[in-house]
Amino acid sequence: MNGFARIAWREVRMAWTGGGLWLPIVFYLAVATLFPFVTGPDKALLARVGGSILWIAALLASLLPIERLVLPDRQAGVLDQLTLRGWADEWIAAAKIAGHIIGFGIPLILATPVAIALLGVPDAKAAALLIGLAIALPAFAGLGVTIAALTAGLNGASALGGLLLVPLAIPILIFGAGTLGDSANNALQLLAASSLAMTALSPFAAGAALRAARD
């Protein structure tokens, strides 16, 4: 196993064994469970807005692990050790993003059919929702690691991370919700393009933030 894979797998292991996995998933499913109590037993309304609610819940769930993505490694000196071994900050960030996609993204996708059933999302929209979330989660992971690198060590990092992440993720939410409407194909293409661009740019942005924090 090469160094990149070791760092990525370390992120996965920390997420799955350190408790960082369950809070986002529990939050995600809690939203799907509680929302019908707010709207009442209106199946038509739930079928119409349930998919959009899950998009918002997925974004908010991605905020919850922000404080553990960079700060513990920074405090323990892990990032400094990797830099001394010749690792570029961009590669460290990319490995963390890859690990976060697996550690957070895959469990969220696996939990989505349960959330779909709780909200009564129609079968015609369920497949589009799963595909759209699978496309968008790398962007959520990339933005999460970037925000974590920018806010590491700051008081109220989670709240500040939310203020930074939500505006950046608005295009993903717009195109993601669009995949559930009449122009699904166009929205899916725009979603894929936006997610690809954010995922590709995130290692460079996160790497620059790691480097600035060290300097």
Residue 72 has pLDDT above 70, yes or no: yes
Provide the pLDDT for residue 138.
93
Residue 215 has pLDDT above 80, yes or no: no
pTM of the model as a whole:
0.87
Which range among 71-75, 124-128, 201-205 has the greatest average pLDDT?
A: 201-205
Neighbours of 73 (CB within 10 A): 23
Mean pLDDT of the chain: 85
Q: How confident is the model at residue 135 (pLDDT cuts 50, 70, 90)?
A: very high
User: Which segment of 51-55, 97-101, 165-169, 193-197 scores lowest on mean pLDDT?
Assistant: 165-169
Residues in contact with 59: Cβ distance below 8 Å, sequence separation at least 6, in sequence order: 140, 165, 166, 169, 172, 173
Burial of 162 (0-12, 13-18, 19+ CB in 10 A): middle
Better-scored residue on pLDDT, 72 or 114? 114
Query: Shortest CA distance to 8 belongs to which of 16, 127, 178, 46?
Result: 16
Q: How confident is the model at residue 199 (pLDDT cuts 50, 70, 90)?
A: very high
Provide the pLDDT for residue 162.
60
> What is the spatial distance between Cα 158 and Cα 161, in angstroms, rounded to a whole number?
5
DSSP symbol at 93: H
pLDDT tens track for 168-188: 888 999 999 888 887 778 889
> What is the spatial distance between Cα 16 and Cα 108, in angstroms, rounded to a whole number?
13
Q: How confident is the model at residue 95 (pLDDT cuts 50, 70, 90)?
A: very high
